[in-house]
Amino acid sequence: QVQLVESGGGLVQPGGSLRLSCAASGSVFSIRTMGWYRQAPGKQREFVATVNNYGTTDYVDSLKGRFTISREIRKNMWYLQMSSLKPEDTAVYYCYAYGSQAYWGQGTQVTVSS
């Protein structure tokens, strides 16, 4: 089993930046890919970004250039750096990990509002 805990969410003004963190524990050796999804109010959960064990990253097209995913393998952590935030980025952000199965964190709220 893998346990994931997100942190770093909060309230930020439009145009601001925020960095989310995800800490993994447990059977971390099984993780092959990791990343982030988000779910805005009244909408389905959507893919945001992913990074695999080779360091290859991928993003949803609409967020390329504003969001950056990174990882620290030794710390079993990965991050989502978000910049130029917009009100439509308001959502609960979930980190995930995939190895033999998918694992999810509990989510962290990001609210972009003036």
Among 52, 68, 60, 59, which residue's Cα sits nearest to residue 17?
Answer: 68
Across residues 74-96, what is the average pLDDT?
A: 97
CA 25/CA 12 separation, integer angstroms: 29
Across residues 61-81, what is the average pLDDT?
A: 94
CA 32/CA 47 separation, integer angstroms: 17
Local confidence band at 100 (pLDDT 50, 70, 90 cut-offs): confident
**Locate tokens 């800490």: which residue?**
23
Across residues 7-19, what is the average pLDDT?
A: 97
pLDDT above 70 covers what percent of the chain? 100
pLDDT above 90 covers what percent of the chain? 91
Across residues 9-38, what is the average pLDDT?
A: 95
Q: Residues 94, 37: contact at Cβ < 8 Å?
A: yes
